A and B are shown apart, each in its own frame.
Chain A
Amino acid sequence: MLSSVPPIYFLIVSAVIFAIGAVGVLIRRNAIVIFMCIEMMLSAVNLTLITASHHLNSLDGVVMVFFVMTVAAAEAAVGLAIFVLLFRGRGTIKVDEINLLKW
């Protein structure tokens, strides 16, 4: 059933998701939302990899996806911990207010 849908559609969907994620990262202020957008971008990439894997009849892409998901999970753990600490310290997690790291 899946094979009847041409890969270009999957790729379009994944590009759209990626673009939404990228725009979200750029324009949203809340760190958690930005974080969720990054996760979305990762998922879009995963979809691309799966598509390619399926299309090429190779397991390489699938293996990559497992890595990406593992890394994303680890990232979530670390990232959320950072946000908690940031909120404790500064009372906000709005990224435009956390701008100490500059000249």
Chain B
Amino acid sequence: MIELVWLIPLFPAIGFLFNGLIGRWVGLDKRIVGWTACSALGLSFLFSILIFFSLLQLAPEARAAVPDTVLFDWIVSGDLKTVIGYKVDPLSIIMALVVSGVSFFIHIYSVGYMHDDPGFTRYFAYLNLFVFMMLTLVLANNFLFMFVGWEGVGLCSYLLIGFWFERDAPANAGKKAFVVNRVGDFGFLLAMFLIFVHLGTLEFNGVFAGAHSLDAVTVTIITLLLFVGAAGKSVQIPLYVWLPDAMEGPTPVSSLIHAATMVTSGVYMIARCNILYSMAPVSMAVVAIVGAATALFAASMGLLQFDIKRVLAYSTISQLGYMFLAVGVGAFSAGIFHLMTHAFFKGLLFLGAGSVMHAMSGELDMRNMGGIWKRTPITFWTFLIATLAIVGIPGFAGFFSKDEILWQAFNSGHRYLWLVGAVAAGMTAFYMFRLVFVTFFGRCRASEEVKKHIHESPPVMTIPLVVLACLSVIGGYVGIPHVLGGRNFFHEFLAPVLGGHPEGAGHAAFSLVRPAFASGGAGEGAGINMELLLMGVSVAIAIIGICIAFYLYIWKTKVPKRLGERFKTIYTIVFNKYYVDEIYEACFVNSTKRLGTFLWHRFDDGVIDRSVNLVADLMLWLGRVLRRIQTGRVQGYALGIILGAVIIIAFLIR
């Protein structure tokens, strides 16, 4: 069964080829297009589940040692040998499940959401291509093949952000995403080169087996470069700027690519390289600090936005910060756990936002919404569930995963990072409930025209909402921490890959930070009390955030405006997202443009073009001179032939 792993990415690839090549020219019926795309994903999901269960039947130690499924050699050149091969282990199969599962429901949702779009076929072709690339990324068994998926999802992200390319904003947003991602990919490439130079292979098994031979400096450089790649794809400081703009794409795309799957690939990559990272405490510290800073920074930017999708975008950046915080403190499985639950609830939040837009005739500004919860009950309740999950209310998925991260940060000795994470959690609670209150409650501020059309979305859109809402609730129960009487199945399942060995025996020597494996695994009495206490604290912080949101946006709706006027400077700075885009524009974009213009005028026009023209002029002049010898007189030519013959003969018989 496990050898059939190549089928998982194959189905979306077929769907892409069918819709992209045939559908485009034949002009297929929308129903056929939708069915093809969705059933391709359904089959992928089915095979992921089947492979997951056959993996589950193996003994825990055997799960991480399943031989790679190698289809064929890809690049064989000198010392470099790369294969098209897939790796099945607990980590990759969890990713495949999340990717194919969430994609499947978002595909179904898209059938309803994109129904009236003229680019329907193109949309589904891109979406299938994206899933194919994403599955390649998570299932690849070597860095280079992973990089193919890495670039492929970047390409699809570009194509789908700029899906409505006839307008300027999406086209520019797509370009921005692509360029910022390039910066990160550069780091990834350099890391790959270094790995190959030092270890002579790019296959995960070989690299991780040989990793112990690397010296500390090399491994630190490699992991830092990998982190640059991860930061580009997974929107960490300083490369997060493309994600808010990416909201110009269709909403299901924001949900699938820019919340649930693609942006988490950096976390996956770092978890995949956990052996390298465990050897590089400096890199781990960098990852953790950048993650925590991103979590706080992005959360603060989300506080004052009015565009619902942008609030969710900043929330995504902030949640990804949490995941990096988790992997940075060595709690790799906690990071992957949060990745999974985040895929459920953030995917759902975006789909809910899409459903709200659908109801509000495409309105995005929450100032023009309000009071729609009775008219769109399913959207409202599922959105509320997702919000409770992201905020971390006990019983919902986000509570387990987020709390595990905070506890691991605290437990590994990073008290300040814990504090930052907790503050960000409070902000999350505030802005998410602000979003809910302003969008769904209060007086409806929409125009009369829009008001008349407020309606619940069709079942094809609401069913995925309900399914994801269920997952947002039960998704957390696979990882109930020991302290609450669970056995943390999720962590146990991932342990063979992510190093569940107690206290990271092999790597402890390298670690400045005590690796924080085994949530509560070491059952010291004090630790358990502390863990429960911290849980209480973070729930309390979340509730405080909700209460503030309630106070400001339901009870005393005049207050926010007055506060805004009182603290005008801070308000303006935060509202304009700390002017980061403007600073980047001034520092990097403009200087690059100036350099480009300089090279264009001085070098391209002045040197390249001129030298080409010079050669052309020279040839012209030569031709003008030499054509004189072509007189048209046959005898002149004959003389030339004879003289030539004489010279050759004279030379030969000399």
* Chains A and B belong together in one complex: yes
Interface residues of A (CB under 8 A from B): 22, 25-27, 34, 95-96, 98-103
Docked pose: A34 CA to B634 CA in angstroms:
11
Evaluate contact between A101 and B635: CB separation under 8 angstroms: no
Evaluate contact between A26 and B632: CB separation under 8 angstroms: no
Number of A-B contacts (CB under 8 A): 26
Evaluate contact between A26 and B630: CB separation under 8 angstroms: no
Docked pose: A103 CA to B625 CA in angstroms:
11
Interface residues of B (CB under 8 A from A): 627-628, 630-635, 638-639, 642
**CB contact between A95 and one of B635, B639, B642 (< 8 Å): that residue:** B635
26 A–B pairs (Cβ distance < 8 Å), ordered by A: A22-B642, A25-B635, A25-B638, A26-B635, A26-B638, A26-B639, A26-B642, A27-B635, A34-B635, A95-B633, A95-B634, A95-B635, A96-B633, A96-B635, A98-B634, A99-B631, A99-B632, A99-B633, A100-B632, A101-B632, A102-B630, A102-B631, A102-B632, A103-B627, A103-B628, A103-B630
* 11 additional A-B residue pairs with CB within 8 Å, beyond A102-B631, A103-B630: A22-B642, A25-B635, A26-B638, A26-B639, A26-B642, A27-B635, A95-B635, A96-B635, A98-B634, A99-B631, A99-B633
Which residues of A lie under 8 Å from residue B630 when comparing CB positions?
102-103
Which residues of B lie under 8 Å from residue A103 when comparing CB positions?
627-628, 630
Which residues of A lie under 8 Å from residue B628 when comparing CB positions?
103
Docked pose: A101 CA to B632 CA in angstroms:
5
Which residues of B lie under 8 Å from residue A95 when comparing CB positions?
633-635
Majority-rule SS of B interface residues: helix
Instruction: For A23, give the chain B residue with the smallest CB separation.
Output: B642
Majority-rule SS of A interface residues: loop
Which residues of A lie under 8 Å from residue B631 when comparing CB positions?
99, 102
Which residues of A lie under 8 Å from residue B627 when comparing CB positions?
103
Docked pose: A98 CA to B635 CA in angstroms:
11
Docked pose: A99 CA to B636 CA in angstroms:
11
Docked pose: A34 CA to B639 CA in angstroms:
13
Instruction: For B637, give the chain A residue with the smallest CB separation.
Output: A101
What's the minimum C-beta distance from A20 to chain B, rounded to whole angstroms? 13
Which residues of B lie under 8 Å from residue A98 when comparing CB positions?
634
What's the minimum C-beta distance from A102 to chain B, rounded to whole angstroms? 3
What's the minimum C-beta distance from B205 to chain A, rounded to whole angstroms? 71
What's the minimum C-beta distance from B4 to chain A, rounded to whole angstroms? 72
Which residues of A lie under 8 Å from residue B634 when comparing CB positions?
95, 98
Instruction: For B624, give the chain A residue with the smallest CB separation.
Output: A103
| Residue in A26, A95, A102 whose Cβ sees the most chain B Cβ within 10 Å | A102
Docked pose: A100 CA to B634 CA in angstroms:
10
Docked pose: A22 CA to B643 CA in angstroms:
11
Docked pose: A98 CA to B638 CA in angstroms:
15
In the A-B complex, list the 8 residue pairs whose CB atoms are closest, starting with the nearest.
Answer: A102-B632, A99-B632, A103-B627, A95-B634, A101-B632, A102-B630, A99-B633, A103-B630
Docked pose: A26 CA to B635 CA in angstroms:
5
Docked pose: A95 CA to B642 CA in angstroms:
18
Docked pose: A101 CA to B635 CA in angstroms:
13
Which residues of A lie under 8 Å from residue B639 when comparing CB positions?
26
Docked pose: A96 CA to B630 CA in angstroms:
13
Instruction: For A96, give the chain B residue with the smallest CB separation.
Output: B633
What's the minimum C-beta distance from B638 to chain A, rounded to whole angstroms? 5
Docked pose: A101 CA to B633 CA in angstroms:
8
| Residue in A26, A96, A99, A103 whose Cβ sees the most chain B Cβ within 10 Å | A103
Docked pose: A13 CA to B245 CA in angstroms:
95
Docked pose: A96 CA to B631 CA in angstroms:
10
Docked pose: A100 CA to B631 CA in angstroms:
9
Docked pose: A59 CA to B423 CA in angstroms:
108
Docked pose: A101 CA to B636 CA in angstroms:
13
Docked pose: A76 CA to B638 CA in angstroms:
18
Docked pose: A27 CA to B638 CA in angstroms:
10
Docked pose: A27 CA to B639 CA in angstroms:
10
Which residues of B lie under 8 Å from residue A102 when comparing CB positions?
630-632
Docked pose: A55 CA to B27 CA in angstroms:
85
Instruction: For B645, give the chain A residue with the smallest CB separation.
Output: A22
Docked pose: A101 CA to B630 CA in angstroms:
8
| Residue in A22, A34, A98 whose Cβ sees the most chain B Cβ within 10 Å | A22
What's the minimum C-beta distance from A25 to chain B, rounded to whole angstroms? 5
What's the minimum C-beta distance from B624 to chain A, rounded to whole angstroms? 9
What's the minimum C-beta distance from B632 to chain A, rounded to whole angstroms? 3
What's the minimum C-beta distance from A42 to chain B, rounded to whole angstroms? 15
Docked pose: A56 CA to B36 CA in angstroms:
85
Docked pose: A98 CA to B627 CA in angstroms:
18
Docked pose: A34 CA to B642 CA in angstroms:
14
Docked pose: A87 CA to B344 CA in angstroms:
94
Instruction: For B623, give the chain A residue with the smallest CB separation.
Output: A103
Instruction: For B646, give the chain A residue with the smallest CB separation.
Output: A22
Which residues of B lie under 8 Å from residue A34 when comparing CB positions?
635
What's the minimum C-beta distance from A88 to chain B, rounded to whole angstroms? 19
| Residue in B630, B631, B632 whose Cβ sees the most chain A Cβ within 10 Å | B632
Docked pose: A50 CA to B368 CA in angstroms:
110
Docked pose: A103 CA to B635 CA in angstroms:
16
What's the minimum C-beta distance from B623 to chain A, rounded to whole angstroms? 9
What's the minimum C-beta distance from A78 to chain B, rounded to whole angstroms? 16
Which residues of A lie under 8 Å from residue B633 when comparing CB positions?
95-96, 99
Docked pose: A2 CA to B313 CA in angstroms:
109
Docked pose: A44 CA to B374 CA in angstroms:
114
Instruction: For B638, give the chain A residue with the smallest CB separation.
Output: A25
Docked pose: A102 CA to B628 CA in angstroms:
9
Which residues of A lie under 8 Å from residue B642 when comparing CB positions?
22, 26
What's the minimum C-beta distance from A35 to chain B, rounded to whole angstroms? 11
Docked pose: A96 CA to B634 CA in angstroms:
8
Docked pose: A96 CA to B632 CA in angstroms:
8
Instruction: For A38, give the chain B residue with the smallest CB separation.
Output: B638
Instruction: For B628, give the chain A residue with the smallest CB separation.
Output: A103
Which residues of B lie under 8 Å from residue A22 when comparing CB positions?
642
What's the minimum C-beta distance from B565 to chain A, rounded to whole angstroms? 85
What's the minimum C-beta distance from A24 to chain B, rounded to whole angstroms? 11
Docked pose: A102 CA to B637 CA in angstroms:
12
Which residues of B lie under 8 Å from residue A27 when comparing CB positions?
635
